[in-house]
Amino acid sequence: MSATTIPQRPGTSGTEAALKTSRRLASEQLRQAERAERVYRARKRAAAARANYAEARSHLRQAREHLALGARLLFGVVRWLPYVWREKSEARRVRAEEKKRRKVIEMKRRLEEKLAASGGGLVMPMAMVRTGD
């Protein structure tokens, strides 16, 4: 190779350079599209997360209020429970007395029937029988 010879051109053609440039541009566009897609997905999911967070806070606030109300009402129930028990025991006592009174009346009625059937003895009308009224 002498100094007078012209150096040879590289073996690449314009087509190969255009293809490389085109590939680089496509690769860059793909990266930009992927980045835009990630940003879009993140924005949408963040909006959904904010909405869920606000709804959860609302529900938790209501739950706290309901828990406080339930605790206050339960305290009232516990405080007034002896009165409820007294009322129920009084109702039981009244029912028992009524049952006992009916039993006494039934026994007296049977006794009167027996005495009337035997034909002897003094028969008292039911109006004269004292029933505990």
Q: What is the pLDDT of residues 60-107, one digit of tens each?
A: 999 999 999 999 999 999 999 999 999 999 999 999 999 999 999 999
Is 86 among the domain residues? yes
Three-state SS for 79?
Answer: helix
Determine, yes or no, domain membership for 8. no
- CA–CA separation, 92 and 48 (whole Å): 60
Q: Is residue 6 in some structural domain?
A: no
Q: Which residues have C-beta within 8 Å of that of residue 108, sequence separation ≥ 6? A: 126, 129
Residue 40 lies in a domain: yes
Report if residue 71 sits inside a domain: yes
Do the domain assignments include residue 88? yes
Residue range(s) defining the domain that contains residue 64 = 15-120
C-alpha to C-alpha distance for 94 and 87, rounded to whole angstroms: 11
Whether this prediction's pTM lies above 0.75 is answered by no
Give the C-alpha separation, 36 to 47, whole Å: 17
* Confidence band of 133 (pLDDT split at 50, 70, 90): low
Assigned domain for 47 exists: yes
The number of domains in the chain is: 1
Assess whether pLDDT exceeds 60 at residue 122.
Answer: no
Residue 12 pLDDT: 61
